[in-house]
Chains A and B, each alone.
Chain A
Amino acid sequence: MAFKRGLSDVLDAYEAGRVHTQRFQKNAGTAHALQWADCTFASGQPGYDARVGPAGSFTPAIASRNDAIYFPPILSGQERYLASSTFWARLASFNGEGSLVIFDLLGYYPLIDGDSTDDQAMDNTLPLPRYTSGEGVGIVVVNHIAPQLQAGTMTLTYTDQSDVQNTITVSVPAQGQNLVCSGQDAASLNTTTITLPLANGSRGVKRIDSVTFSTAPGGLFCFYLVKLLATSTFAGDNNVATEKSYLTQNGCAMPRIYDGAWVGWFDRIGAGTSRTVSWFGDLTFIWG
């Protein structure tokens, strides 16, 4: 246990240098507004990641070096936590307040064919690298590589945290390439959330087994498996920083960051004008 004695152990981590602040700089990606966007689809540091691999094969995301937000390796027996975050949104002008969700990308199924109405079976040769039971793991649908043409509907079969196979039918709203298009039900074609709704009794997803588009949306899709870790907000003004301490502003609930965690974030610009936005800021990790 990292901080068994409580606050004094947290302070000791800083005192002993068991702390790392990692800066990031992401250039402007896809224009969006009132939509969730994954900043990975833009150049910068960490670099662009198109989320590609063998079509329909689970591709574990295990961060190494600086392909995701970098944090140093720690000794066996130690635990690492996200202590704070700082986000600047660089916009041409005020574009409305917005929201951020920080996640650990566990892996993804790339290049799902949105033009096909055939059953597409997933290859799950490789397991989840973290949160291996699937407890608390969600599915995020992102249109990538080839643009979606219209709203679609899909039936997705998955195995949950209890190794029970379930099926859900949801829409795939047309949000635009590189943006989240996770529908909430089969009927609503315009509204999205981050993670898909799950079947009765499911508390998470261990793997996706197959998908069938009953209405083909066109384009290509990437299905993420993610563990959402934390939230933050931003002011919407150019270069105004939002700082958040997960110790003092999040009820001491500093998210644990496992070895290999592929840390990223979704943003949601909060106004109706579609804009590109670049980001810079930092995440601070402590361990003990």
Chain B
Amino acid sequence: MAIQSLDQLISAITAGKTTRYDWNKITGAAAYALGRWYDTSALGGLPLANAYPGTALAWVTCDEAAGNGTQIFGMPHGGDVSADLKHLLNMSAWTTAATGVPGTLMLVDVQGYWGGINMNTLSAQNLTGTPTLRYTNGAGCRLFLTARATTGAVAHNLSLSYSNSVPTSGRAMPVTVACTASAITPHIVHSGVAANNYGPFLPLASGDTGVSTVASVTLSAASGTASTAALVLCRPLAQITLSVVGLMTEKDLLNQIPSLPQIKDGACLAWLWGAGGATAASTTFAGGTEFVWG
């Protein structure tokens, strides 16, 4: 079953096959920097913060119902609806202060993560566990590395060995990727405006369109401070921009950006924040999401 017409969409909505969730997140005690991306799933608010629990370097699957197994950190979207198909229908977002604009919020479906990646070693770190993904062989899935504690001041690059969505193993990023030294939680450490920064996602080898798993992660240098990060595998779904303080941005994914991104059963929905300017400490981001299925 799938919604195939405007009539079916209206029928589904008025049959109650829809839900709305209003979320809010507050940045922590540190300011965010222009051009960098941040993982808001780790921030307090509604839903609560993702603390990335688990065994170091071991895969943790995330979903709507159980979150990471400890924190149910994904935005609720109405539960499983198979054999119907669920879609993201509308989004809105706002921020409290001028220090929250401009910027971009990107909605992702967090498939899971490898936590406890040591940011203070240059030894190769072999990741364990086989990801269970909501997208076949990770089609369209992307990676980001988010700091779990402030990293050290020594410059370091990131390399990894991953399997693409064919799946072919042993794939490497096609460019040098530099991490930001002294990256704070929850900075996506390879994003920013410095040379060799890429964000919010790590670049993939030529022709690759997704990631099914990652075998290992290696830093070119120890960062100099005991710290960890989480390597997150997610599927980007949609984005919404914030341009004017106090002005809610609204996005209709049927009429404005006809896309109706599909929300898989179990999707673990979280926002990434791309700062278009300095974002002050304790800045609020909030908004609403509406879903429909049929």
Q: Mark A239-258, 1 if CB is under 8 A from B, else 0.
A: 00000000111111110100
Q: How many residues of A contact B (CB 8 A)?
A: 55
Residues of B within 8 A of A254 (CB): 13-14
Residues of B within 8 A of A98 (CB): 246-247
- The number of A-B residue pairs with CB atoms under 8 Å apart is 158
In the complex, the answer to whether A269 meets B246 with C-beta atoms within 8 Å is: yes
A33 to chain B minimum Cβ distance, whole angstroms, is: 8
Closest to B245 in A: A270
Q: Check if A16 is an interface residue, CB within 8 A of chain B.
A: no
Q: Check if A144 is an interface residue, CB within 8 A of chain B.
A: no
Residues of A within 8 A of B26 (CB): 184-185, 188, 191, 193
Q: Mark B9-32, 1 if CB is under 8 A from A, else 0.
A: 111011110111110101001000
Known: A98-B246, A228-B288. A6 touches B90 (CB 8 A): no
In the complex, the answer to whether A231 meets B246 with C-beta atoms within 8 Å is: no
Residues of A within 8 A of B48 (CB): 197-200
Residues of A within 8 A of B252 (CB): 249-251
In the complex, the answer to whether B92 meets A270 with C-beta atoms within 8 Å is: no
Which of B142-150, B220-228, B278-286 makes up part of the contact surface? Answer: B278-286
In the complex, the answer to whether B282 meets A8 with C-beta atoms within 8 Å is: no
Residue of B14, B19, B47 touching A4 (CB-CB under 8 A): B14
In the complex, the answer to whether B247 meets A9 with C-beta atoms within 8 Å is: no
Residue of B5, B22, B76, B245 touching A96 (CB-CB under 8 A): B245
In the complex, the answer to whether B14 meets A192 with C-beta atoms within 8 Å is: no
Q: Check if A220 is an interface residue, CB within 8 A of chain B.
A: no
Residues of B within 8 A of A248 (CB): 255
Q: Could you tell me which residues of chain B, from 246 to 274, have a CB within 8 Å of some CB in chain A?
A: 246-248, 250, 252-255, 260
Q: Mark A72-110, 1 if CB is under 8 A from B, else 0.
A: 000000010100000000000000111110000000000
- Size bracket, chain B contacts: 35 or more
In the complex, the answer to whether A250 meets B9 with C-beta atoms within 8 Å is: no
Q: How far is the CA of A247 from the CA of B47 in the complex (A)?
A: 28
Q: Check if A195 is an interface residue, CB within 8 A of chain B.
A: yes
Q: How far is the CA of A269 from the CA of B47 in the complex (A)?
A: 26
Residue of B10, B11, B96 touching A192 (CB-CB under 8 A): B96
Interface of B is mostly: mixed
Q: Check if A22 is an interface residue, CB within 8 A of chain B.
A: no
Q: How far is the CA of A95 from the CA of B96 in the complex (A)?
A: 16
Q: How far is the CA of A136 from the CA of B46 in the complex (A)?
A: 12
Q: Which of B71, B96, B253 has the most CB of A within 10 A?
A: B96
Q: Check if B83 is an interface residue, CB within 8 A of chain A.
A: no
Known: A7-B7, A188-B26. A99 touches B284 (CB 8 A): no
In the complex, the answer to whether A253 meets B11 with C-beta atoms within 8 Å is: no
Q: Check if B8 is an interface residue, CB within 8 A of chain A.
A: yes
Q: Mark B27-61, 1 if CB is under 8 A from A, else 0.
A: 00100000000000000111110000000000000
Residues of B within 8 A of A55 (CB): none
A247 to chain B minimum Cβ distance, whole angstroms, is: 8
B17 to chain A minimum Cβ distance, whole angstroms, is: 10
In the complex, the answer to whether A193 meets B9 with C-beta atoms within 8 Å is: no
Q: How far is the CA of A138 from the CA of B24 in the complex (A)?
A: 12
Q: Check if B195 is an interface residue, CB within 8 A of chain A.
A: no
Q: How far is the CA of A5 from the CA of B14 in the complex (A)?
A: 10
Q: How far is the CA of A117 from the CA of B248 in the complex (A)?
A: 36
In the complex, the answer to whether B44 meets A184 with C-beta atoms within 8 Å is: yes
Q: How far is the CA of A100 from the CA of B7 in the complex (A)?
A: 29
Known: A1-B15, A193-B284, A228-B22. A7 touches B254 (CB 8 A): no
Q: How far is the CA of A197 from the CA of B283 in the complex (A)?
A: 15
Closest to A190 in B: B282
Known: A136-B19, A269-B246. A191 touches B76 (CB 8 A): no
Closest to B22 in A: A228
Known: A185-B44, A252-B13. A191 touches B96 (CB 8 A): yes
Residues of B within 8 A of A184 (CB): 24, 26, 44-45, 284
Q: Check if B139 is an interface residue, CB within 8 A of chain A.
A: no
In the complex, the answer to whether B9 meets A6 with C-beta atoms within 8 Å is: yes
Residues of B within 8 A of A26 (CB): none
Closest to A196 in B: B46
A180 to chain B minimum Cβ distance, whole angstroms, is: 12
In the complex, the answer to whether A8 meets B250 with C-beta atoms within 8 Å is: no
Closest to B19 in A: A136
Residue of A97, A187, A252 touching B244 (CB-CB under 8 A): A97
B288 to chain A minimum Cβ distance, whole angstroms, is: 6
In the complex, the answer to whether A197 meets B45 with C-beta atoms within 8 Å is: yes
Q: Check if B141 is an interface residue, CB within 8 A of chain A.
A: no
Q: Check if A210 is an interface residue, CB within 8 A of chain B.
A: no
Q: Check if A52 is an interface residue, CB within 8 A of chain B.
A: no
- Please report A residues at the B interface, Cβ cutoff 8 Å: 1-10, 34, 79, 81, 96-100, 136, 138, 184-185, 187-188, 190-201, 203, 228-229, 231-233, 247-254, 256, 268-271
In addition to A1-B14, A197-B44, 16 A-B residue pairs with Cβ atoms within 8 Å of each other are: A97-B244, A97-B246, A97-B247, A100-B248, A136-B20, A184-B284, A190-B282, A191-B96, A191-B97, A197-B24, A233-B248, A248-B255, A250-B250, A251-B260, A251-B292, A252-B254
Can you sample 17 A-B contacts with CB below 8 Å?
A3-B11, A4-B15, A6-B7, A6-B9, A8-B7, A97-B246, A99-B247, A184-B284, A191-B283, A193-B45, A195-B22, A200-B71, A233-B248, A250-B250, A251-B290, A252-B6, A268-B246
